Structure 1
Amino acid sequence: MDYQRIKVMRDNHVVIVSLNRPEKLNAVDMLMFNELIHVSKVLRKDRMLRAVILTGSEGNFSSGLDFKSMMKNKSFAAKLLFKWLPGQSNRAQQVSSNWRKLSVPVIAVIEGYCWGAGMQIALGADFRLCAPNANLSIMESRMGLTSDMAGSIALREIMPKDKAMRISICATELDAETALSLGLVTEVNDEPMVEALALCSQIAQKSPDVTAAMKHMYTRYWTAPAWKLLAYETYSQIRIMLGRNFVRVQQALKNKTAPKFEPRQRHW
């Protein structure tokens, strides 16, 4: 598919998805919503994929929602907020929550502005690697709105409730080091893309089945009752041990060589 608002580049088993509207500081409009949802669904089916990097073009992640363009068409809000069941993700939420459903790690590389909708998208990633010049904010309250793009799921996992509530209500602008101290980002690095690619290389050396199991274990069950986490641990371990990639790891350990993996098992 030819995208207009995002760029998708593949390097072996790593895909880089870039928000690509630099003249608007990569502000999110309806077309970008649709393209991000589409690419995330396509990547979810890719069993050869090992990692995804989310970033923004030309020095900014995203300045947030393009409020002006979204208000021009009243049907946009209805399309974004509609859902069949209350517990499902609507289209506004899918640009964040869909990344959590992938069976591979998703790494957000954040430079410059990461506000509002951009921050919500970044919160859908598993890791947020941040440049020193980054400026981050959960910005929705400035527009008289609440956060409604699923980033709150990640916030409850990575930050204390009082601190998350404070920066959300006040729409606090955070520099990179402050965001790191609060747990909002994983790491501050002078070259976050280089670090992200190095992390992808480390991930590629591990079994894709193990990676998928760990991703879903922590994403689905981090805040679940202990019995559910214990049950999934057992289920995933048995499934891994019955798979071909487990045999390949054991052979590689015996021969002191690097394992050559098969595609990830289906339906993690």
Structure 2
Amino acid sequence: MNYQHLQVEQEDNILIVRLHRPEKLNAVNYLMFEELIDVSRKVKRDHTIRAIILTGSGDNFSSGLDFKSIMKQKSQAIKLLLKVWPGNANKAQQVSANWRGLSVPVIAAIDGYCWGAGLQIALGADFRIASSRANLSIMESKMGLTSDMAGSLTLREIMPKDQAMRLSMCATQLDAKTALHHGLITEINDKPLEAAIELSKQLSQTSPDAIAATKHIYNRYWTAPKWKLLAYESYSQVRILIGKNFMQAQYALKKKTLPMFKNRQRFW
């Protein structure tokens, strides 16, 4: 995968996607929006990938939206916001929402600035590991805007409503300890990328079908009515039971060996 503003590399079955505009502190311009959408769609079809890590080049995750670049060509702003159906994600929202929809775990490794659009992208990840020097902010209100990149899907699951509203309305900058206190990040580690790789390796030791089912249960039905959550749990379990990876897990337990998992089932 060759991109202008992303660096994409694969280590075994772990894909590392790096926001790459270091001269702009990895600020997100229109081309980066398109490239992030493209890589997320390609990964969705690749059943060999077991985990994805999102990070930034240099010492920062992302300083947010490159507002000047976008507004130089008003057509770009229109393309980002345009949607055929109101309930679907537009391009601005897909750079966060697409990661939630994947069947593999996504981990954001955060260092330095993680502001505005950068934080919205990170909120699309399932886990966020930040260094002690990380600085996080829902920055859009400073530009006279509301956050509209689908990060709210995650915020409503991890934070009380009043706290999320306060952070969004005041554009509060949070250090790593405060972000952890609010549930905005998963853990603090001064080597976030190395920690993300280690977590990816741990997750890769589990059945990819079980991982996919768990992610979809939590992301799709965490706030759903009770009957929907219970129904999808049962549906997912049946799908797992008919797969080869369940048999691999059972065989490994019986023989006390490491399981040799296949690629995840095609319907995840």
Work out the CA distance in 2 between the residues paired with 1:97 and 1:77: 18
Percent identity reads 66
Equivalent AA in structure 2 for residue 211 of structure 1: I
Aligned partners of 2:2 and 2:8 also within 8 Å: no
Equivalent AA in structure 2 for residue 69 of structure 1: S
Alignment of 1:187-202 (within 5 A): 187-202=187-202
Give the count of matched residue pairs: 268
Alignment of 1:115-154 (within 5 A): 115-154=115-154
Across the aligned residues of Structure 1 and Structure 2, the Cα RMSD in angstroms comes to 0.6
Work out the CA distance in 2 between the residues paired with 1:226 and 1:57: 42
User: Are residue 227 (structure 1) and residue 232 (structure 2) matched?
Assistant: no
195-204 or 151-160, which deviates more: 195-204
Q: Which residue of structure 2 lines up, in the alignment, with residue 63 of structure 1?
A: 63
Work out the CA distance in 2 between the residues paired with 1:94 and 1:141: 20
- SS of equivalent to 2:109: strand
Work out the CA distance in 2 between the residues paired with 1:71 and 1:194: 36
Aligned partners of 2:130 and 2:187 also within 8 Å: yes
Equivalent AA in structure 2 for residue 54 of structure 1: L
* 1:223 Cα offset (Å): 0.5
* 1:61 Cα offset (Å): 0.2
Work out the CA distance in 1 between the residues paired with 2:99 and 2:56: 16
* 1:193 Cα offset (Å): 1.4
Alignment of 1:158-237 (within 5 A): 158-237=158-237
Work out the CA distance in 1 between the residues paired with 2:26 and 2:192: 18
Work out the CA distance in 2 between the residues paired with 1:219 and 1:267: 17
* 1:267 Cα offset (Å): 2.2
* 1:133 Cα offset (Å): 0.2
Work out the CA distance in 2 between the residues paired with 1:255 and 1:128: 35
- SS of equivalent to 1:260: coil
| Superposition TM-score, scaled by structure 2 size | 0.99
Gaps of 5+ in 1: none
Work out the CA distance in 2 between the residues paired with 1:201 and 1:91: 31
Q: Which residue of structure 1 lines up, in the alignment, with residue 45 of structure 2?
A: 45
Structure 1 residue ranges (4+ consecutive) displaced by more than 2 angstroms after TM superposition: none
Work out the CA distance in 1 between the residues paired with 2:195 and 2:115: 22
